[in-house]
Amino acid sequence: MEALKEKAFVSTRNACKLCTPLGASIAYKGIAGCVPLIHGSQGCATYIRRYLISHYKEPVDIASTNFSEESAIFGGQSNLFAALNNITKQYKPEIIGIATTCLSETIGDDMQAIIQHYQAQNTLPDSPQLTYVSTPSFKGTHANGYHDTVLALVKRFAAFTETNNAINLLPGFLSTADLRHLKEIMRDCGLPSIMLPDYSDTLDNEYNGSYEKVPEGGTSIEELVAAGSSRASIELGHILNHATSKESAGTYLEKNFSIPRFNLPIPIGIKASDEFFTILQRLSGAAMPQKYLKQRGRLVDAYVDGHKYVFGKKAIVYGEEDFVLSMVGFLEEIGLETVLCASGGGSGLLKKMISEKVNPRQDIMVRDDFDFEDIAVACRDLKPDLMIGNSKGYYIARELGIPLIRVGFPIHDRLGGQRIRHVGYEGTHELFEKIANALIEHMQEHSPVGYKYM
């Protein structure tokens, strides 16, 4: 085993990334009246649905073009046409969001031409809008799929009409509770906003005794169009879809519609949240509501109170690159020592971004294109006190006998994984207490004395 430590494996063993059409499906779920359609064999759609359903604990309808051997040879046009007709008839969606797969990309289906062809034949006024994104999984990860889809959506719809007063908020891949919180903040600051995408309702629906096939909520097509006329964009995340595209939704809007872009980290931690609120204040030109001053104050208070439990503990952080980047910034603030930042993503930017944006006190081992077995091996030397990331790292935490703080995606072994809040002062506060409490609990359970006063 020792000899294997430094070896670079060609295989991926327990991947720390998911595939691109999954990211696309989540982004599409944030568009009002949208049914995602995965263009390929049915297995991909079924697997992706199952994964999303068990994380969000909601129905997640995603259609497939159900390729057969024949479509694998001759291309998927006729399957796509049939799928579009059948979805339209059953769901009456406003929009169908198509994502390609490894299979259709290997075949080389020309999506643009196929869709144009379809549209030329189907001109009924109630035909849904169509949009597509190219998401072969042999390029990039679910994070790329997500951001590429957001980009594809603005490319398809954003237009200049007349300047409106809205702010485009491009939140990145966050939890439903995060999205709700961001909207609340924008509202409180008196800033009309277009959040893209917004799956805070569609993937976290309330119970009312009836089943909506296309659940309410999401960014509307009008909003997508209006995004081209907004007065500014806030794009959260620095790495975004860098591995698969030269532009992001924010840079595209800036370049083509001259919409100023404020690129910020995902606001986890005081510093990142401060940056976010500072921009909001600049944009609104008004004083921050008292509420947030208080939230910030309470968070500082919590840091002060809880510092003794977390200081100097060693943490491993993993997940999507932008998520890891912000998480490290937060951990630096609270005095936790991050010993490894890992991501399955492969932009090549993670290390640079961490040193630029976070500038940590000590050198942190940063690895992209990492898998969980790489993490497990690294852990033998690093001896972390806790792990922070999604459910899939559980087996390592279990082996090491250390706590795992479940954040991010996917969370399949806890209730409420879909609505963990990470962002803003309040989200950070919840996260901080979760981490401190996990460490306290660990200490308590491993103490020979049954302390109840810690």
Partner 1 sequence: MDSKKINFKDPAEIKEEILQKYPRKVAMKRAKSMVANDTEQAKEIQSNVRTIPGIITQRGCTYAGCKGVVLGPTRDVINLTHGPIGCGYYSWLTRRNQTNTPSQDPNDKIDGENYIPYCFSTDMQDENIVFGGEKKLMEAIREAYEIFKPKAISVFSTCPIGLIGDDVHQVARAASEELGINVFGFSCEGYRGVSQSAGHHIANNGLLTHVVGRNDNGPEGKFKVNLLGEYNIGGDAFVLEQMFEELGITLISTFSGNSTITAFEQAHTADLNMVMCHRSINYIAEMMETKYGIPWIKINFIGADATAKSLRKMAVYFDDSELSAKVEAYIGKNMEIAEKVRSEVVKTTKGKLAMMFVGGSRAHHYQDLFEELEMPTIAAGYEFAHRDDYEGRQVLPGIKVDADSRNIEEISVSADPERYKPRKTEEQMAMLESKGFKFSDYEGMMAQMSNNALVIDDITHWETEKLVEYFQPAIFCAGIKEKYAVQKMGVPLKQLHSYDYGGPYAGFEGVINFYKEIERMVGTKIWQLIKAPWQGEPEIVGTVGMEI
Q: Summarize as ranges the residues that interact with ligand SF4 (CB under 6 A).
A: 19, 21, 40-41, 43-44, 47, 101-103, 137
Distance CA 383, CA 406 (A): 19
Cis peptide preceding 197, ω within 30 of 0: yes
Instruction: Report the residue count for the chain.
Output: 454
Distance CA 52, CA 403 (A): 25
Contact, 100 vs 76, CB < 8 A? no
Q: Which is nearer to partner 1, 357 or 419 (CB)?
A: 419
In the complex, least distance from residue 52 CB atom to ligand SF4, rounded to whole angstroms? 13
In the complex, least distance from residue 10 CB atom to ligand SF4, rounded to whole angstroms? 17
Output the six-digit token pair for 453: 């006063």
- The torsion angle over the Cα atoms of residues 250, 275, 270 and 219, rounded to 10 degrees, is -30
Q: Which is nearer to partner 1, 209 or 285 (CB)?
A: 209
Question: Binds 84, which of ligand SF4, partner 1, none (CB < 5 to 8 A, cut-off by type)?
Answer: partner 1
Q: Which is nearer to ligand SF4, 45 or 185 (CB)?
A: 45
Question: Binds 213, which of partner 1, ligand SF4, none (CB < 5 to 8 A, cut-off by type)?
Answer: partner 1
Output the six-digit token pair for 443: 């200490």
In the complex, least distance from residue 66 CB atom to partner 1, rounded to whole angstroms? 4
Amino acid identity of residue 98, one-letter, is I
Q: Which is nearer to ligand SF4, 171 or 410 (CB)?
A: 410
In the complex, least distance from residue 243 CB atom to ligand SF4, rounded to whole angstroms? 15
Residues whose CB is less than 8 angstroms from the CB of residue 413 and which lie 6 or more positions away in sequence, other chains included: 391, 394, 406
Q: Which residue is nearest to ligand SF4 (CB)?
A: 43
Question: Binds 61, which of partner 1, ligand SF4, none (CB < 5 to 8 A, cut-off by type)?
Answer: partner 1
361 burial via Cβ count (<10 Å: 0-12, 13-18, 19+)? exposed
Question: Binds 71, which of ligand SF4, partner 1, none (CB < 5 to 8 A, cut-off by type)?
Answer: partner 1
Strand, helix or coil for residue 320: coil
Distance CA 397, CA 407 (A): 14
In the complex, least distance from residue 89 CB atom to partner 1, rounded to whole angstroms? 5
In the complex, least distance from residue 30 CB atom to partner 1, rounded to whole angstroms? 18
Q: Which is nearer to ligand SF4, 51 or 303 (CB)?
A: 51
Q: Which is nearer to partner 1, 210 or 362 (CB)?
A: 210
Name the H helices within 170-230.
176-188, 221-226
In the complex, least distance from residue 46 CB atom to ligand SF4, rounded to whole angstroms? 8
Q: Which is nearer to ligand SF4, 269 or 346 (CB)?
A: 346
